[in-house]
Structures are given as structure tokens and as C-alpha cells.
Structure 1
């Protein structure tokens, strides 16, 4: 490696490391802010908070890494141009392309690392992160209940006045509202003087042992006029055990290594295998439903009669209903109408089901392409940032940050927009995932071309010259005679 390549690489790495650490810290704070409701007021110890943040860190890399490369490139090459170091290189016969060659090799290696990171580390961390959030109540059940307010735990809303004990499992002043299955409010209220939470990491059942309390349940009379009396049943107890099923909140253990069927948790090989199964199931369901609906409607695939299969009866009239009496006509029309409504409902239900399955397939395809997009984005951002810095000739944290933020927001917005359209099957997942890269790649080529040929970012003469000619025509200069 030559002295020039070492100098440029050292300059870039120092800037890149500084920017990466700052941006990573900012995005970590954003993650804490987004999940503050899950962390605050639940007596989480320091080890669990650190574990929570460690599992959330890898998902930030796809945002931080391209932005860091973009900003570091603009700042590094902007400083070199501002200090006339590029002018010295060009006077020595060193072009911008030659100056970028060493850094290009480094960015290519970084892109490969980013790809393997996205394919292996992020899915594992995503699995741990999601399941850690789901298992907070099971690992430490007292964290699911906050003092002085109702907390949603399974099928119950629980409020306690005070928590005590080693793990906060001893509760005082307990009020429990049981959720109604029909969605018309709480019909059952349980009050207890104190109680204790008992749980096991091997079981999804959380036991709440209540002491000295009352059980209230609203009754719904059969007669509507009796409902105004607001009848209810009340019973008291010395000891009552309430079993809370957390299986829907905690499907797997934190340290269980079984792979969940979620697209963000899968590697390329696992995504390929899953997509193959999803496509086969999707096609099989379409074929199965088409055959089923044909049988229900009486449509036969081969409805072409052969000579032997032609009916020997007389020719049927155009209006078949004329063969029946009026009461029979009414019954036939009711049955036909009912069949049409039932068939339409079945078609609508199946259509929604197939749309959801297609959306699931699209999400898996987007996750598949995202692993390649992050690697390409690193390379693309370098070829946007490096020539842009050489053109604007400004380093530091002023103008480069403005350009970097505008470009990255555009990239992120287009990327999100493309994915949303692809999820709803309005665009192929390939185009949805690569839309931002396809749109910004011409910008990278244009900036590289202009910087290599010493052309400014915007040729102001192209804009100002026609305006000057226009103003001269509209406001001609006045001629004054000598006195």
C-alpha cells in the first residue's frame, strides 16, 4: 500500500469511526425512547436492561452504517478539497479516481462484512430481541405489574397499591378486572388484601395467590326490565389462586434456540426454504379452492357433451321457472339467493386469506433482498459522498451534515415507500426492495463523473445567463446625455 493510500485510509477511518459511534449512540437512545414503556416502572435490573439493549443494537446497523459511510466520505473528501490537498494531488498527476481506489477496496470489504452481518448476526439478535420482550413477564413476573395503575396481564387487568419482597412478588391492595370475551366491558372484579406471584420459567402459567378478598360478578337477567336493578353475585374468600395463561405473550423461552417463523429472524438459506414452502402452499390452496367452488356452483371442468352424453329428454324452455308453481318458484329463488350470498362470502373470505398469504410471501422476499441491499447501499453511499465532498469543498460538521441528512432521508423514505407498496402486492418485492438503490445510483454516477472532470455541483451560468438576458430585455438600460 502506497503512502497516499495509507494517508487517505487513515483520514477516512478516523472520521468514519467518530461518526459511527455518535450516530450509533443517537439511534440507541431512539430505541430506548421507543421502548421506554416496556423498561420504565417495571423494576428491571441493570443486567436485564443491558441485555435488552444488546439484542436491539444489531437491528440499528442497517441504518447507521450507510449513513456513517456517506457522512464520513463527504467530510473526509471535503476537508481534503478545502485544504487544497486534492489540488496538490492533481498537480502531481493523481486523479480523483486514483485517490478513491484504496478506499473503494476498503468499502467493498466493508460491504461484504455488512452482508454477512445482515445474514447471520441480525436474524439471531432479532429473534432474541423479540422473544426477550415477550418473556419479560415470565422471567420476572412482577415486572408486568406496575404500582398504582392497571397493568394488562393476559386476560386480566391488575392494579396493586404496593409491591414488596425480593423480586417484588408480594403484592398489597390488589384489584383485578377480568376481561369479557364478548367485548362489553369487565363483568368480574376481584379485590384482595394481599397476594403473591408464583411463576416458573418452565411454565407459561403465572399463579397469583390472593388472601382475604371478595369476588364480584355482574349478572345478566333474561328479562330486559330486570337489568335496571343491576344484580350481581358476591362471595368472599380467605385464599384464592388465580392462574394466568401467558402462552400468548410468551411463546418460547428467552434461551430457547428454536427458530421462530418470522422473516426477520431467518438467514438466506432459511428464507429460501420457507419461501419454497409458502409458494407451494399458496398454489395448492388456490387449486383446492377453485375445485371446491366449482363443485358448490355445479360448474364442471369439461361441460362439453358428447353425442352419447346428450340428454334424451325434450328441449327445455328458456324460462325453467315456468315449469314450477308459484310457491315452488319462491322457494327456488330463496335457495338461489342464499347460495349466491354464501358463495360471495366464501369468495371474499378466501380472497382476504390469499391476500394475507401473499403479503407474508412478499415480506419474506423483502427480507431476502434486504440482505443484499444493505451491502450495496454501503458502496453506493461512498460513491455519492466522496465526489460530493470533493465538489462542495467543505469539511467539518456544517454543510456536509445537511447534504448527508437530505440524501439519507431520501434513501430511507424511498426504501420505506417501496417496501410498503411491495407488501401490498402493488409492486414486485424485488423492485420494492431495490427502488431506493435504483433511484440513487444515477446520482452516484453523475457526482463521480462531475468530480472526476472538475465540474461543479451546479453550473450557475446555465441558470443565471438566461435570467440576465431576460432582465436586460424587460429593463433596458437608460441612456443619459451629457449636460
Structure 2
């Protein structure tokens, strides 16, 4: 390896490491803020907080890595250009492509590591992260409830005045608001003097035993005029048990995916196998529904009355029956048609949900390869851009890096959301941002290689200058004549 390659690698990798650590710390703070409701006021010890953050860290890497490469490339090459080191290289016959060769190899190695990380580490960490969040409430159920404020626990909002006991399982001064199952349901309030939380790590159920309390429930009458009376039911109890399903508490809220959507926990081979099963399952459902619908629409073969074969023999089949029989036939036909429409709508909704699940898995599969290409893309945008703007440091490079990465991330999120709703092929949704920014990388590389500025302002300013000259030439002579 030549001295030049060692110098460039040292400059780039040093800047990259610094930028990566800083950005990773910033995104970790964002993760803490995102899950602050689960961490604050839950009496979690330091080890559990560290474990919580450790399982959430790997998912940040696909965001931090491309941005770090982009910013490090702009800063490194901008610093070299600013100090005329590139000018010295070119005067010695070393082109920009030759200077980027060793760094391109380094980015290739970094991309392979990123793929292995996304394919193995991230799925494992995602699995551990989700299960850790669930086990917090199972192993220490009192952590799900905070003193002096309402805590959202499944279908209940629970407030306690004080927690006691070894694990905080004993509760005093309990107020519970039960969520309505639908928009028309009445409000339910439960108050108890004390209670106890009981859980088992082998199940998803958390049992809350209440002692000496009252149960209040608003009743919504069917008749609208009776609702102004605000009727309610009240009862007292010595012991009242509530079973809370903890599985409903563990939704993955960063990308709107629940625990049942395991696409983020699978590697490439698992995703391919799962996609094959999901597609076969959906195709079988379509075939089964088609056969069922066809059989329902067929004319009964066991009809004893032969169908008339001559035209005009029977102009209207209903004319063969009396009025009462006609009404029965029409009502039956209408009921069958309505039932078929309901069946079609329900099946369509089910098939759409399965298609969205398939799209999520395809997006996850493509994301593991997008990060590899994104590393190259950001390098071939940042390196030429830094050589063109000739500015190092943390000023102008950060502005360009943030603008480019925000555009990349916005387009990527937009494409994946459309693909998720089946408005675009998942492949194009995953690769949309890369496809759009690839021409920018080629353009910047071409302009940097040929020593062309970022924007040729003469092309824009010359027509404007000529227009103003013509205007002044018309105005000034008229003033001289006066």
C-alpha cells in the first residue's frame, strides 16, 4: 500500500469513526426520548436500562452508517481540497478516481460488514428487544404502574397512590378507568382500597386482585331521549379480580409493527422461506374463495322444473307465481346478494391485510441490501461534493450532509409507506431513494473529475445580465436626450 493510500485511509477512517460515535450518541438520545414513557418513573435499575438501550441500539445502525459515510466523505475530501492537497495530487498525475480507489475498497468492506450486521445482529436484537419489553411487565408487573399518575395497561388506565412490598406488588388507593370496547360504550370506573399484582413469567396474563371497593358503570340507553337521565349502575365488592393481557402492551411503535409482524426479526433465508409460505397461503385463500363464490352463484342442478328452452315461452319467470311468492323470492334473492357482498368485502379486507404483511416482509428483505448500496451511494455523493465545495470542518459539510440525508430518508420512508399499502411494488419502494439519488452521485463524480464547479452560475446569470443591459440602454439614452 502506497503512502498516499495510507494517508487517505487514515484521514477518512479517523473522521468516520468520530462522526459515527457522535451521531450514534445523538440517535441513542432520540431512542431514549421515544421510549421515555417506558423508562421514566418505573423504578428500573441501571442494569435494566442499559439492557433496554443495548437491545435498541442495533436498529439505529442502518440510519447512522450511511449518514456517517456521507458526512465523513464531505469533510475529508473538503479538507483535502481546502488545503490544496488535491491540487498537489493532480499536479503529480494522480486523478480523483485514483485517490478514491483505496477508500472505495474500504467502503466495500464496510458494506459487507453492514450487510452481515443487518442480516444477523439486527434481527436477533429486535427479537430480544421486543421480548425484553414484554418480560419487564411479566417479571416485575409493578413496573407497568407508576405512583400518583394514570398508567396505560392494556384495556385499563390505572392509578395508585402508593406501592409497597418487595417488588411493589401491593397497591393502595386504586382507581381504574376501563376503556370502552367501542365508541358507544359507557364509562366504567373501579375504585378499591388496596390490591395486589400477581403474574407468571410463563403466561401473558397479569392478574390484579382488588379488595374493598366499588364498581361504577354508565349505562347508555337505546332510546336517545332517555340518555339525558344519565343512568348508571353501582355495586360494591370485597374481592374483585381483573386479568390483563400483556401481549397487547408490546406493540412495536417505531414503524407501526406489532409483535406478530416478525419481519424485522428474520434474516434473508428466513424471510425468503416466510414469503413463500405467505404467498402460497394467500393464493390458496383466493382460490378457495373463488370456488366458493362460483358454487353459490351456480344454478341448482337438482331443480326438478326443467328450464324453458324456447324464446318467448316465459317472458317473466315471476309471472308464474302469486304476489306472496314473488315477495318471498325477491327477499331471498336480495338477502343472498347482500350476504355475498358482505362475504366479498370481508374476504377483500383479509386478503389486503395479508398482502400488506407480504409487502412488509419484502421491504425487510430489500432493506438488508439497500444498506449495502447506500454506503456506496453516500460515499460517491460525499467524496466528489467535498472536492467541489473545498470546505472541510463541521460548517458547510454538515449542511450539505443533512440536506442530502434528509432527502434520502424522506424518499425512502415515503416509498416504503406507499409500498406497504400496495400502491407501489415493494422492490421500487425500498430502492426509490437510491434510484433517485444515483444520478446525483454520477453527476457529482463527473463534475469533480473534470474540475467543474458544483453549479455553473454563468449559465444562469449571463441571460439576466444581458436583459438588464438592454433595459438600461433603453432608459439611459432617453434620460440623456432630456
Same fold by TM-score, threshold 0.5 exceeded?
yes
CA distance, structure 2, for counterparts of residue 209 and residue 341 of structure 1: 47
Q: How far apart are residue 98 of structure 1 and its match?
A: 0.5
Distance (Å, rounded) in 2 between the aligned partners of 1:422 and 1:223? 43
Shift of 1:15: 0.7
Corresponding residue SS for 1:135:
helix
Query: Which residue does the alignment assign to 1:287?
Result: 287
Q: Which shows bigger deviation, 184-193 or 324-333?
A: 184-193
- Deviation readout 1:104-157 (Å, 9 max, x if unpaired): 000000011111111111111111112222332112111111112222333433
User: Quick check: 179-188 or 367-376, which moved more?
Assistant: 179-188
Q: Is the 8 A contact 1:120 1:267 kept in 2?
A: yes
Q: Is the 8 A contact 1:127 1:260 kept in 2?
A: no
Provide the secondary structure at the position in 2 that maps to 1:385.
helix
Q: 1:339 aligns with which of 336, 341, 347?
A: 336
Is 1:178–1:186's contact at 8 Å kept on the other side of the alignment?
no
8 Å Cα contact 1:380-1:441 kept in structure 2:
yes
Gaps of 5+ in 1: 252-258, 303-309
Q: 1:453 aligns with which of 450, 455, 459?
A: 450
Q: Does 1:36 align with 2:33?
A: no
Q: Does 1:474 find its partner at 2:471?
A: yes
| 2:69–2:379 CA contact under 8 A, matched in 1 | yes
Q: Does 1:172 align with 2:169?
A: no
Work out whether residues 186 and 218 of structure 2, in 8 Å CA contact, stay in contact via their aligned partners in 1: no
1:421 equivalent to 2:386? Answer no
Judging changes above 3 Å, is the alpha-carbon distance between structure 1 residues 193 and 476 closer, same or farther for their aligned structure 2 residues?
same
Q: Contact between 1:73 and 1:389, CA under 8 Å: does it hold in 2?
A: yes
Structure 2: how far apart are the matches of 1:242 and 1:281? 37
Shift of the alpha carbon at 1:412?
0.7
Which whole-Å CA distance do the structure 2 matches of 1:74 and 1:18 have between them? 14
Contact 2:16 2:69 in 1 (8 A): yes
- Structure 1 residues 234 and 7: alpha-carbon distance in aligned structure 2, compared to 1, 3 A threshold: same
Equivalents in 2 of 1:232, 1:15: separation in Å? 68
Equivalences, count: 464
TM-aligned CA deviation for residue 165 of structure 1? 2.9
Q: Counterparts of 1:242-281 in structure 2 under 5 Å? A: 242-249=242-249, 262-281=262-281
Residue 461 and residue 243 in structure 1: after superposition, are their counterparts in 2 closer, same or farther (change >3 A)?
closer
TM-score normalised by L of structure 1:
0.89
d(CA) in 2 for partners of 1:465, 1:177: 71
CA RMSD of superposed structures (Å)? 2.7
Contact 2:186 2:219 in 1 (8 A): no
2:235 is aligned to 234
1:291-348 superposed Cα distances (whole Å, 9 cap, x missing partner): 1111112269x9xxxxxxx968655423222222222222222221222221111111
| Cα displacement string for residues 271-297 of structure 1 (whole angstroms, at most 9, x for unaligned residues) | 000000111111111111011111112
- Are 1:375 and 2:372 counterparts? yes
TM-score, scaled relative to structure 2: 0.89
The SS at the match of 1:159 is: strand
Q: Secondary structure at the match of 1:285?
A: helix
- Name the residue aligned to 1:256: none
- For residues 13 and 218 of structure 2, the distance between their equivalents in structure 1, rounded to whole angstroms, comes to 72
Give the C-alpha shift of residue 182 in structure 1: 5.7
Task: Encode CA deviations 1:226-249: one digit per residue, 9 max, x unaligned.
Answer: 995946453342x55544443544
Alignment of 1:120-135 (within 5 A): 120-135=120-135
Contact residue 157 and residue 176 of structure 2 kept, 8 A: yes
Q: How far did residue 458 of structure 1 move?
A: 0.8
